[in-house]
Amino acid sequence: MRKLACLLAGLSLIGGGAAAQQALTPGTPSILVWSPQQQSDWYRSIESVYHVNTIHRGDRVEAMLPAAQSMATTFTHDGRSWSVDDYMQTYKVSGLLVLKDGKVLLERYGLGRKPTDRWTSFSVAKSVTSTLVGAAIKDGKIKSLNAHVTDYVPELKGSGYEGVTVRQLLMMSSGVRWNEDYADPNSDVSQAGLTRADDKAGVNPMVSYMRKLPRARVPGSTFNYNTGETDLVGIMVSKAVGKSLADYASEKIWKPYGMEQDAIWMTDTSGQERGGCCISMTLRDYGRVGQFILDGGKAQGKAILPADWVAQATSKQIDNGGPGYGYFWWMLPGEDYQAVGIFGQSITTFRKDRVIIVINSAWPQATGKKLNMERAAFVAALHAAAVQ
């Protein structure tokens, strides 16, 4: 029960931010309010709705072989017995993947999705962005976690971000005031990234907005979920490495690890990939992202990340009112961790058992207690079946 309860911790906070991206067609409704049909159609083809950049795959594909044993599971939650089909149909799951030791125990698709179809990640992208920070440190492009964000985004000098470190941003603890209320059209998450008349030429609109925010707490002292800052981290990485996030993700993850298909990354109104949202990839490539991290950030035996990066990023760095928060990863009891996005996206890793569970969905609302509880029960049942 404790593990099930902790699977829920903090999930009501997880979002993607709707203001920063620009639709291809004027009048397109916000991604936060799409109809069920729009979700089903557009989550798999986000490039038909928004501007994107491509994360190119390489020539080699990392094999993902079937496990020797098959896996089927039922579970009981809230007095009801559920099958995999029951859960997928009720919660509009487009893709379900269970890996054990890198092999496929279970792979299922719904909503008409095919194995070659991509699906948008929402905030699962944050965990990829933090991984690229590790790669940039390994490459010597970012000096260290203790470097100041203003060293790489000088437009933030003199703002509430003066003196804030890379590590503090990755912990969501800059101390800068931020309101992540999706229901409030005047909240920071609703307003940040919109182009304004007083924006300075050449300054990313997200940076332009966020450098006006005041300091509210001592940096590093308090967890405050902040999608805008994950976009700042993406901007920081791009500036540090001198290339787009999509190109850097291709160079550091997609090509060396052997992703099966190009991914696409939604961009903001300036053409910058959103560090906090919306990479679209195939279900198996979600699994490969999880496996890359579980394997310590190595590709074909070569270290892409610093030796201790994964251990730090996927362990508690700050108190978030639950099991803890790492570097854009959510902690679970013991050594387990998650990447999570709204509307039912998740990569859950059970480290000791080497089990990875990927779920892509089109929930009827961004998040909610019942949605989270039943996904947590489902994930717990899948994990139990995987280790039998």
Range 163-167 average pLDDT: 98
Longest alpha-carbon distance in the chain:
61
- Give the model confidence (pLDDT) of 352-366 as tens digits: 999 999 999 999 999
With H, G, I as helix, E, B as strand and everything else as coil, classify residue 72: coil
Q: What is the pLDDT of residue 181?
A: 84
Q: What is the pLDDT of residue 5?
A: 41
Q: Which residues pair with 55 in a beta bridge?
A: 263
Contacts of 348 (CB under 8 A, 6+ apart): 7, 332, 336, 337, 338, 356, 357, 358, 359, 379, 383
Range 48-77 average pLDDT: 92
Q: Tell me how many degrees the CA angle 64-69-73 measures, rounded to the nearest 5.
A: 100
With H, G, I as helix, E, B as strand and everything else as coil, classify residue 156: helix
Q: What is the pLDDT of residue 183?
A: 74
Q: What is the pLDDT of residue 291?
A: 98
Q: What is the pLDDT of residue 8?
A: 41
Q: What is the pLDDT of residue 69?
A: 84
Range 295-301 average pLDDT: 96
Range 213-217 average pLDDT: 95
- Give the model confidence (pLDDT) of 264-288 as tens digits: 999 998 899 999 999 999 999 999 9
Quick one: which of 384, 332, 380 has its CA closest to 359?
380
Range 189-203 average pLDDT: 72
- C-alpha 55/C-alpha 245 separation (Å) is 8
Tokens read off for 365 = 């609302």
Contacts of 204 (CB under 8 A, 6+ apart): 155, 235, 268, 270, 272
Q: What is the pLDDT of residue 73?
A: 83
Of residues 12 and 69, more confidence is placed in 69
Contacts of 10 (CB under 8 A, 6+ apart): 225, 320, 321, 322, 325, 330
Range 214-229 average pLDDT: 94
- pLDDT above 90 covers a percentage of the chain that reads 80
Specify the amino acid at residue 286.
Answer: Y
Q: What is the pLDDT of residue 293?
A: 98
Asked whether residue 298 carries a pLDDT value surpassing 60, the answer given is yes
Range 247-268 average pLDDT: 97
- C-alpha 115/C-alpha 111 separation (Å) is 12
DSSP 252: I
Q: What is the pLDDT of residue 283?
A: 98
Q: Given pLDDT bands bounded at 50, 70 and 90, which one contains residue 196? A: low
Residue 211 to residues 23, 107, 115, 226, Cα–Cα distance (Å): 25, 44, 42, 14
Q: Given pLDDT bands bounded at 50, 70 and 90, which one contains residue 18? A: low
Residue 256 to residues 298, 301, 349, Cα–Cα distance (Å): 9, 10, 21
- Give the model confidence (pLDDT) of 109-133 as tens digits: 999 999 999 999 999 999 999 999 9
Q: Which residues pair with 340 in a beta bridge?
A: 346
Half-sphere exposure of 114 (CA within 13 A, CB side): 3
Range 314-335 average pLDDT: 95
Of residues 291 and 268, more confidence is placed in 291
CATH number at residue 278: 3.40.710.10
The alpha carbon of residue 384 and the mean position of all alpha carbons in its chain are separated, in whole angstroms, by 25
Range 237-264 average pLDDT: 98
Asked whether residue 200 carries a pLDDT value surpassing 80, the answer given is no
Half-sphere exposure of 292 (CA within 13 A, CB side): 28
Q: What is the pLDDT of residue 6?
A: 42
Least confident of 34-38, 218-222, 267-271: 267-271
- pLDDT above 70 covers a percentage of the chain that reads 93
- C-alpha 188/C-alpha 72 separation (Å) is 44
Report the mean per-residue pLDDT for the chain: 92
- C-alpha 255/C-alpha 86 separation (Å) is 37
Residues of the domain holding 317: 2-386
Number of structural domains found in the chain: 1
Residue pair 253/198 in contact (Cβ under 8 Å)? The answer is no
Asked whether residue 34 carries a pLDDT value surpassing 50, the answer given is yes
Q: Which residues pair with 302 in a beta bridge?
A: 299
Range 207-235 average pLDDT: 94
Least confident of 58-67, 178-187, 219-228: 178-187
Range 18-46 average pLDDT: 89
